[in-house]
Structure formats: C-alpha cells, structure tokens
Structure 1
Amino acid sequence: MAGTQDLGGGVRSVRVPIPDNPLGHTLVYVVDTDRGPALIDTGWDDPAAWDTLVEGLAECGTAVGEIHGVVITHHHPDHHGLSGKVREASGAWIAMHEADTAIVRRTRSAEPERWFTYMAAKLTAAGAPEEHVAPLRAARRRNLPGLNPALPDREIVPGELLPLPGRRLRAIWTPGHTPGHVCLHLEEAHPAGLPGNGRLFSGDHVLPEITPHIGLYEDPDDATVTDPLGDYLDSLERVARLAPAEILPAHQHAFTDAGSRVDALLAHHESRLTGLLALLSTPLTAWQLAERMEWNRPWEQIPYGSRNIAVSEAESHLRRLVKLGRAEVVSGSDPVTYVAV
C-alpha cells in the first residue's frame, strides 16, 4: 500500500519515496476540485516513485489520467520530477513561479559541460582545494539527474488564486530555498475547526523539524549579487502574518502553530549568523567557513556533492552578513576572503 492520508476537506496526501535520500519521501497533495483532482508537487522521477504515486492516487479514489492541474512549489527534482509524466498521462497543465521556470529553462538548454565549468569556477573562487575541483573538470560527460525537467506551461502569479474551480488556493511567493518557491494558502475553514486562517501548503519553506537549505541559484550570464537568506527571512515573516491553522509541508508531517515554528527558524538563522561572525574574526574563504560551520555530521564525513551544497549555504550567509554591514570582503583577496567588521 502507498502511504496515503485523508486530511479532510477534499485534501489527501501520498508519500512518494525519494531514492537514496535521508528525507525519505515527498508528500504529494491531492486536492479535489469541481473539475477533478489537482496535485501539489509530484515527487522524484524514479520508477518506484511513479508506481507509488499511481498506487496512491488509486487509494485516493482517482487515477493519474484524471489529474487536470499540477501546481509546483519549486523546481527541485523531488517536487517537480514526475510532472512531465503526469502531464503525458493526463493532459494536465503544470504551473510554476516564473523565477523557477527560468531555472528549468536554463537547465534544459545548458550543456552539462557548461554547468561543470561554471561550478568549477565558482568553487575555485570560493577557495575549494584543487582536489575537490578537479573531478568537475574531468567528469563532463557524466549525466546528472534532473537535467531535462518538464517545462511548465502556466505561471504562478503571487497573490493570485490558482485556477482550481471550487477551491480558493492563493499563491504566496516565498523565495529563499529557491528564487521562485511558493507556498499555497488554502483560504477555506479548517475541516476540523482548528483556529487560524485556513491551511498552508508550505513546500520546503517551513518544515516541522528541518531547516531548509538556503543556497545560491544563479544565472551564469547574470552578475546580480543575490541575497537568498535575506529573501528567506522576509518570506518567513510573511508566512507568520498569514497565521494558518495548519501547515501541510512537503516532507515529514503536518503541524500547527506556524508562528512558533517561524520564530524558531528566525532564531536559528540569527544564532548561526552570530556564530559565523565569531569564526570571521580572522579572514576566511567560503570554503574555509563551510569547513568550520556546524552541520549534521563532521566535515570529513560529508560526501562530495553535499560539500558543494554546504559551500553554497556558507556563501548565502556571508552575503547576508555583508549586506547587514557585519562582515566585508578583504580587498584584493584571491580566492575571496571575508572578515567580521
């Protein structure tokens, strides 16, 4: 049996597995509408995941062919991976925020060689040692997962209701985890009568026990210096102001008291920024900072790909500190080093 749950009010969830990932699964939500069911996210593009989604939809009393719309919270492959297969099987539309659609378009059109070259340059600039960068220069023919994601055919416009007849599902733009991440506010009374303003499908923006990764998603052809952590913190406060009765996240489990969880996440990042300032009493590169940051395991045990993600997260925190005037780039440093002000 697929792991399905009836959440009341015409909303069900299906636990779709993520292969070889400690998160375990993505919660795909099935929302009844007057035109048939719609999905919020779809899960990873993997045969076992597809079989689980098909089985889960059957347990929910429907089928893939009945889906008329797919609403994607963000472009990551554990959310958007199966969207193309759902569209092929049903003719459903796929909706995504334009900022993440731009990433999908870039991913589909870019040669893997270009991505490897860009990553090698970014990591070198961040102070990564040559032995870490070398494999990126050597492995350019290797296929990476998620290099041909489905191109969405509808745009999610922040503040507008999604085209789901009979439902009030409003898009809330919550950049940070990705530039085009959206939460989806179901502006309907909670089916169990819980106090608060409806329910919020939170994607990866607010999870009950995990702090989402905040990294960099940049266009190699665009020199704009982004501040994803600043975007994320602002987005968190937007969610707190909504005061939903319940949050339905894309991983783990549903939970209440959104305000307390937002406060905990804000406190976590403030504490982390303060801790990083102490480390920056002497100049450090983004790589050196990542080596010294606290992760869920010692740096020596962090695998290759996860180290790239860790460096990206370190850099997003460094950018925030620079923007706040609490750290600065050391003039003339190469690779670039940062120091507390």
Structure 2
Amino acid sequence: MKTSRRQPYSQQRPQDLGDGVWSVPVPIPGNPLGYTLVYAIESPRGPVLVDAGWNHPDAWAALRDGLAALGLDVSDVSGVVVTHFHPDHAGLAGQVREASGAWIALHEADAALVRLMHSFGDSEHRSFQADMLRRAGAGDEDAEAATERRLSAPALPDRELRDGDLVDLPGRKLRAVHTPGHTPGHVCLHLEDADRLFTGDHVLPDITPHIGIYPYDRDDVDPLGDFLESLERVRTLGPLDALPAHEWIFPDVAARAAEIRHHHEDKLVRLAALLAERAEPPTIWETAAMMTWNRPWDQLSPMLRGMAAGEAAAHLRALEVRGVVGRVAGVDPVRFQALDS
C-alpha cells in the first residue's frame, strides 16, 4: 500500500530546485489539499511563474515572501503561465500582473471559459448549477444545498497558448503540452532543456485529479476520454522528473501516468458491472451514490456530492462513447442503461 508523503502547509518551505527553477508553497485556505506549489523559472527579463495560487491575502503574502526568501521580487516577474483556470492556480495571477506588469498566458480553451465566467452574474450561476443538479436526478433539497457561492472569475489572460507553443522564456525551452481532461484547456509545461515537466493537476504523485463533465448531461464532449488520451501522451514523453502543483516533486512521470490510467480503466469496468446489475436504469445522481469515493456517500458534503456527480457523469459518458452504456430515450432526468454486447 502506498504511503502518502503529503505534509501540512506549515512544514513547507520555498526551495531552490536547481537549473534556475524554484518552488514556493502557497496556501489554499480551508482546503484539504493545503497548498499549491508555484514554480518560478529564471529569465533575463525576470522570473516566469508557473501558476500563481489562490486569491487570498494569506496566499499573496506567502507568494511574495516566498519569492523574496529565494532572492526574487514579485515586482520583477515577467510572466505567469497558468496551467488551468481553477482558482488555486489562476487566482493570484491578476495581482501579480498588477504588481509587476507581467503577462498572463492560458490555453485558448480555458481562456474561453474565463471569458464566459466574466459574463455570468451570481444569480445566473446559481440558477445554472441548481438546474444542472436537478437534471442529473438530485432532489430539490440536494440541488439547493449543493449550489455553491460563485468565486470571483480569474483575470483574463493577455496571451493564449496552443499545443506545442513555446512560452516567452528567453534562453530556455518551455513548451506547452495540451492535456485536456481536468479542464478543457489544461496544459503541462515541458522544460525541454532540463528534462522536467510541470504537470499542474494532470499528474499528481498520490491522488488523482477530479475529472467531471458540466453540465452533467452533456453528450457532445468526453472529458475522461480526453484525460486518458492525455495521460498516454505524457507517458510517451518518457521518465521525466515531474513538478506537480500539489503534494511533492517525483521522478518518472510516465510510470505515474500509466498508473492513473489503470485506475480509471478499472473504475470504468466496475461501473459498467454495476449498471449491468441494475434492474432499473439509474440517474447520474443515483450512479454517483453507487460508486466508491474516499468517504461513504452519506458522509459527503453537498459540494462534494456535486463533484462526485460530475465525475460519475464523466465516467458514464466515457462508457457511452465506448458503446457500453446508453441513455434511456424520452425520460427526464437522464438515465443510463447497460447495453448488450
């Protein structure tokens, strides 16, 4: 059994990782992940950050002071490459830009989502969430309880990345590797001159990232299928040292990518078996309640139940794409049934 090396934020310190790369742990208040590892890469124009951390005064102080402890000044930062739009990665990018004039870069697919977030009002967001939960089969009480207060949208990027683009980092070769799944525009960043891969949330050493589908009943995307393909792509890069956004730095990203892929393939097999045993086709919400999580379903908070439903939906959609399950026609909310082989 794998032993976790995850340590609390209080035990984390800024580190010089060699080859002009540094890491700064930035806290995520109230989140069990504890912190985001923000990386700085040396550049003659000033350091370029990989991610920026959560938008909170304590997080800002940790980023500013952590860089200072390494001999770097946040006002000298020349750019921020955000691996994906989630708030523990993109939250402070705007404040870094205000302090330094740095550019912000994000993959074009996530940049489109950030623009959409800026166009949404809070009431629109809550209404969208509640309706999505009801269409997945959640009751009115669950739908209302799981509707989250919307966080502020991250800063709009100045630059948009595509797969294979080189980041503006003079003297180094930092290449964007599009790895959709966790978000549509997630990127890993390959520091080709040092055989290192900044993996964001795509490949983590001990846990697996959330792979959900939103709205839950979409039938035009396959985020889990995208994620599995992205894992295979990372595997082909070879045994690079991985610099993830959470937990700890680890060797041989290819081996870990293969391990995560196996985890999801096993989960798909088990879910298909559960559906084959059901007399009545379940809703997405009922499917989530049947699946195995790190805690029993009745012990999950409303927010975590909503995330579990998103992940159940992504697994159902992947099985649908493979022809293993299908949607029951003419019913609301949507239900899935096992198909004959």
Q: Distance in 1 between matches of 2:215 and 2:245?
A: 24
Q: Is the aligned partner of 1:99 residue 2:97?
A: no
2:312 equivalent among 309, 314, 318: 314
Please say if residues 136 and 216 of structure 2, whose CA atoms lie closer than 8 Å, have aligned partners that are also in contact.
no
Q: CA deviation at 1:217?
A: 4.3
1:250 equivalent among 241, 245, 250: 245
Q: CA deviation at 1:290?
A: 0.5
1:1-341 correspondence runs (5 A): 3-135=13-145, 143-145=149-151, 147-189=152-194, 198-217=195-214, 225-281=220-276, 282=278, 283-341=281-339
Q: Distance in 2 between matches of 1:217 and 1:55?
A: 37
1:124-181 alpha-carbon deviations (Å, 9 max, x no partner): 1110012112357xx8xx8522x23211010112101101111100000000000000
Q: CA deviation at 1:63?
A: 0.9
Q: Distance in 1 between matches of 2:243 and 2:190?
A: 10
2:319 partner letter = L
- 1:113 aligned counterpart, secondary structure: helix
- 1:73 aligned counterpart, secondary structure: coil
Please say if residues 23 and 40 of structure 2, whose CA atoms lie closer than 8 Å, have aligned partners that are also in contact.
yes
- 2:205 aligned counterpart, secondary structure: coil
Inter-CA distance 224–288: structure 2 relative to 1 (3 Å threshold) = closer
Q: Distance in 2 between matches of 1:110 and 1:59?
A: 39
Segments of structure 2 that go 5 or more residues without pairing to the other structure are: 1-9
> Please, what is the CA RMSD of the aligned residues?
1.8
Q: CA deviation at 1:292?
A: 1.2
Q: Which residue of 2 aligns with 1:194?
A: none
Moved over 4 A (4+): 217-220
Q: Which one is further off, 254-263 or 312-321?
A: 254-263
Segments of structure 1 that go 5 or more residues without pairing to the other structure are: 190-197
1:53-85 alpha-carbon deviations (Å, 9 max, x no partner): 011010110111000000000000000000010
- 2:156 aligned counterpart, secondary structure: coil
Q: CA deviation at 1:318?
A: 0.5
1:294 partner letter = T
- 1:280 aligned counterpart, secondary structure: helix
Inter-CA distance 307–143: structure 2 relative to 1 (3 Å threshold) = closer
Q: Which one is further off, 24-33 or 238-247?
A: 238-247
Q: Distance in 2 between matches of 1:267 and 1:165?
A: 38
TM-score, with length taken from structure 2: 0.92
1:252 partner letter = E
Inter-CA distance 269–143: structure 2 relative to 1 (3 Å threshold) = closer
Q: CA deviation at 1:218?
A: 5.7
Please say if residues 237 and 254 of structure 2, whose CA atoms lie closer than 8 Å, have aligned partners that are also in contact.
no
Q: Distance in 2 between matches of 1:110 and 1:219?
A: 19
2:138 partner letter = A
1:292 partner letter = M
1:167 partner letter = R
1:287 partner letter = W
Q: Which one is further off, 270-279 or 168-177?
A: 270-279
2:163 partner letter = P
1:95 partner letter = A
Q: CA deviation at 1:24?
A: 0.5
Q: Distance in 1 between matches of 2:300 and 2:178?
A: 32
Q: Distance in 1 between matches of 2:219 and 2:122?
A: 23
* Aligned residues with identical type, % of pairs: 53
Please say if residues 107 and 187 of structure 2, whose CA atoms lie closer than 8 Å, have aligned partners that are also in contact.
yes
- 1:132 aligned counterpart, secondary structure: helix
Inter-CA distance 143–304: structure 2 relative to 1 (3 Å threshold) = closer
Inter-CA distance 217–338: structure 2 relative to 1 (3 Å threshold) = closer
